[in-house]
Amino acid sequence: MVSDSPSAIELELRRTLLRLEELARRAEAAERRFLDFAAIAEGWLWETDAEHRFIAFDYGRDGQIVQRPGGDFVGRTRWEVVGADPADPVWAAHIDDLQARREFRDFEYSVADANWELHHIAISGRPQFDSAGVFLGYRGIATDVTARKAAVLKQQESEAGLRYLFEKNPNPMWIYDRETLRFLAVNDAAIDRYGWARAEFLALTIADIRPPEDVGRVQQAARDRSSAYVRAGEWRHRTKDGSILFVEIESFSLDVGGRAAVLVAARDISERKKAEADLAAAEEKLRQAQKLEAVGQLTGGVAHDFNNLLTVILGNVEILGQQLAENASAQALIDILRRAAERGSDLTHRLLAFARRQALDPKEVDVNGLVARMHGLIRFTLGEDIDVTLVQDPDLWPALVDPAQLETAVLNLAINARDAMARGGKLSIETQNVTLDEGYRVRNPDALAGDYVLVAVSDSGAGMSADVLARAFEPFFTTKEVGKGSGLGLSMVYGFAKQTGGHVKIYSELGHGTIVRLYLPRAVAVAAVPAMPPVVAEDTAGRGESVLVVEDDEMVRDTAIDHLVSLGYRVLHAADGASALVILKSGEPVDLLFTDIVMPGGMNGKELAAHALLLRPRLKVLFTSGYSENTIIHQGRLDPGVNLLSKPYRRRDLATKVRRVLAGQL
């Protein structure tokens, strides 16, 4: 009997066909996935047989083998395609992996394409076996790493160049961790300049090379990440020996092993900062010198006017003294007037010393001998509670200086020192040969380079603050109580030093005393000054000679006339140079021209004397002035053959000077 229902065999066959169809669909889907992956893969897929010959190389989207650099690989081994020597150690190691059927990764080799461009290929492969464990060959992927190799090489070259620049840079450089501030690397210049060994550096943080007061600023700057490049400006750094460097910093943010770091270049500007400070100090000293010069000009003019007045006062006091010789009460008043006028004369003398308007008489002086002779006077003046010590250079050069003015300067310095040591102390006067070089001159614009004889007066007194020190040479500036000092002592020393052609410098600190260093010009080949013959009192009377007095100040002129007439001279007078020349041209007998230097009318005393000597070559000339003028004084000395009577003068000074000039003793 025939049945219409399928047999068991038919059913099994149908089920088998269905399974085959499902497997085919799965295989097709797997192949499509494989082809998609192969198409978008960075590299190329390959497969070899058991003899290591290529049987496939890269499946494209169309399912066809795509030929890559090296030409037709199928049927050839890799080393045959490349033309490599299997005996080459690199290839021998790779072939050994293949023979041992080991998996390998990133084996690199080079191959030229059809255009003879060299490509670098990296391959990875896995051995394949059947179900019975029989070796079938390899499957793997190949990647063209030419661009990557070039980029790595370029990066390596760049890093090598940067490393070379870092290590060989003449400026200190380092890299530090931004979180810990610890040094990660330092170059040779940093080691040389800062003094720490490399291992010591790498154990420090950037805060360790800063002065303690700058650490907070360093930490704040390290936290600032607003810019990849930071020009950090000027800093102070500390070296291993504790000295301080001024540096300019440039810093760059970078990444080191995944950590934020900073590359720093430091340029040492310590010398520049020192030069800037020296220049600023020199400019300040120059401004101070210019200020003192301006004050000196004003002071000289004031002293000139005062000297004219004091000449009149002293002259009339002396005349009154003679006229009222028998009146005791009047003599007491006259004596008070005279002493007051003499104090005024001393004051103007100090002003002229500061203003560099006094007439100096510089000579070759043994400064050691002069100071030694003053030792007793200084000890007496300072008192028993101050110990006075002399420290003298036995080979001291002679100085070209006015000895009387030097004595006054040293005594003034000693008195100033005494006033600074209210409870006693030590005073030292030291002499020494000193040569000031150009470097000193640059730092002290009011000084000249050259050889000097140094007189240094130092005390153990209270010292001066910086503000007081800056004004120490100003006239009338004093820190003493009212009535305890005129404020002209140091001003006199300053003016004397400058007019002499020297230099003066003060070093002082509160609580540590003061040193005043007086530099006097060294005397070189100075002609000996002949001794002045003594003049006895009876030689001062006039003998009827004619004196022409030329003075623009009427009171001074009248006083001089009264003195000269009382001394026995015949007197002519004029208010200016033009009027005096009229008298000289008139034929009136004139034995002596007694003329002021500073006069109105366009002709000064020196010009008048020059015209007068052309008219009367045998005429004697005596100048007078309230302060020295460059017309007759140069470099602190009277011009040769010039005779000067400084104002204010007394009757006896006038009598002696006129007599000496007429007698040819000057």
Residues 172-208 pLDDT 10s: 988 888 888 888 889 988 888 898 999 998 898 888 8
Considering the chain, what is the average pLDDT of its residues?
Answer: 77
Q: Which whole number is the average pLDDT over 138-164?
A: 78
pLDDT at 288: 62
Q: What is the DSSP letter of 497?
A: H
CATH of domain 169-268: 3.30.450.20
CB atoms within 10 A of CB 356: 24
What CATH number labels 359-521? 3.30.565.10
When mean pLDDT is compared across 26-40, 144-158, 361-375, 523-537, the lowest value belongs to 523-537
**pLDDT for res 493:** 77
Beta-carbon contacts of 135 under 8 Å, excluding residues fewer than 6 positions away, are 50, 101, 127, 128, 129
pLDDT tens for each residue of 80-107: 877 778 788 888 888 888 889 999 998 9
Beta bridge partners of 261: 177, 254
Q: Pick the more confident residue, 456 or 39.
A: 456
How far apart CA 123 and CA 141 sit, in angstroms, is 6
Provide the pLDDT for residue 541: 80
Distance, in Å, from the CA atom of 518 to the CA atom of 455, rounded to the nearest integer, reads 5
- For residue 214, CA distances in Å to 206, 218, 220, 305, 442 come to 11, 6, 10, 59, 32
Lowest mean pLDDT among 55-59, 237-241, 484-488: 484-488
**Is 538 a residue whose pLDDT tops 50?**
no
537-663 under CATH 1.10.10.10, yes or no:
no
Specify the pLDDT at position 197. Answer: 92
- Mean pLDDT confidence for 641-652: 78
115 against 54, higher pLDDT: 54
Select from 517, 590, 513, 518 the least CA-distant residue to 550: 590
Q: What's residue 619's pLDDT?
A: 92
Model pLDDT, residue 534? 47
Q: Does domain 8-150 bear CATH number 3.20.20.140? A: no
DSSP 3-state helix, strand, coil percentages of the chain (rounded to 5)? 45, 25, 30
Assess whether pLDDT exceeds 90 at residue 474.
no
CA angle 571, 572, 574 (to 5 degrees): 140
- What would the pLDDT profile of 596-622 be if each residue is shown by its tens digit? 887 877 888 888 998 999 999 999 999
pLDDT (mean) for 313-318: 73
270 phi and psi angles, rounded to 5 deg: -60, -45
pLDDT of residue 102: 92
| b/e map 268-289, b = 16+ CB within 10 Å | beeeeeeeeeeeeebeebeebb
Which of residues 102 and 23 earns the better pLDDT score?
A: 102
DSSP code of residue 529: P
Alpha helices in 119-269 (DSSP H): 146-168, 188-194, 198-202, 215-223
Instruction: Give the span between the Cα atoms of 299 and 282, in whole angstroms.
Output: 25
Q: Are 142 and 44 in contact (CB under 8 A)?
A: yes
The dihedral through the CA atoms of 444, 445, 447, 450 has a sign that is positive
Which is nearest to 401 in space by CA: 351, 357, 449, 453?
A: 453
Percent of the chain with pLDDT over 70: 74
Residue 135, pLDDT score = 93
294/394 Cα distance (integer angstroms):
40
* Nearest Cα to Cα of residue 253 among 264, 268, 269: 264
Distance, CA of 98 to CA of 85 (rounded, Å): 15
Write out 583-625 in H/E/C secondary structure: HHHCCCCCCEEEEECCCCCCCCHHHHHHHHHHHCCCCEEEEEE
- The predicted structure's pLDDT at residue 537: 45
The residues, ordered by sequence, that sit 6+ positions from 41 with a Cβ below 8 Å of its Cβ are 141
Per-residue pLDDT band at 150 (split at 50, 70, 90): confident
pLDDT tens figures, 246-264: 888 888 878 777 788 888 8
* Residue pair 631/609 in contact by the 8 Å Cβ criterion: no
pLDDT at 343: 64
Q: Is the pLDDT of residue 486 over 70?
A: no
Asked whether the predicted pLDDT for residue 66 surpasses 50, the reply is no
Q: What is the pLDDT of residue 480?
A: 54
Work out the average pLDDT over 435-460: 85
Is residue 297 over pLDDT 70? Answer: no
What pLDDT does residue 38 have?
59
Q: What DSSP line would sit under 368-397, residue for residue?
A: HHHHHHHHHHHHHHH-TTEEEEEE--TTPP
- The pLDDT score that the predictor gives to residue 528 is 44
Query: For residue 593, what pLDDT is reported?
Result: 94
pLDDT of residue 284: 65
Q: Are 464 and 508 in contact (CB under 8 A)?
A: yes
Distance CA 468, CA 107 (A): 85
> Two tokens at 543?
């003998």
pLDDT-based confidence at residue 292 (cuts at 50, 70, 90):
low
Write down how long the chain is: 666
Q: Average the pLDDT over 371-387 and give the result.
A: 84
Q: In this structure, are strands 425-436 and 450-459 parallel, antiparallel, or unpaired?
A: antiparallel
Burial 43-63 (b: 16+ CB within 10 A, else e): bbbbbbeeebebbebbbeeee
CA 343 to chain CA centroid, Å, is: 46
Contact 575, 610 (CB under 8 A): no
Whether residue 356 has pLDDT greater than 50 = no
3-state secondary structure of 646: strand
Q: What would the mean pLDDT of 208-227 be, rounded to a whole number?
A: 71
Q: Which of 63-77, 219-233, 528-542 has the lowest mean pLDDT?
A: 528-542
Q: Are 645 and 657 spatial neighbours (Cβ–Cβ below 8 Å)?
A: yes
Highest mean pLDDT among 227-236, 282-291, 552-561, 566-575: 566-575
Rank 400-414, 587-601, 639-653 by mean pLDDT and report only the highest. 587-601
Q: What is the mean pLDDT of residues 539-561?
A: 85
pLDDT bucket at 530, cuts 50 / 70 / 90: very low
Query: In degrees to the nearest 10, what's the CA dihedral of 128, 131, 136, 141?
Result: -20
Contacts 24+ apart (CB under 8 A), 71-78: 71/114, 73/46, 77/48, 77/51, 77/52, 77/53, 78/52, 78/54, 78/109, 78/123
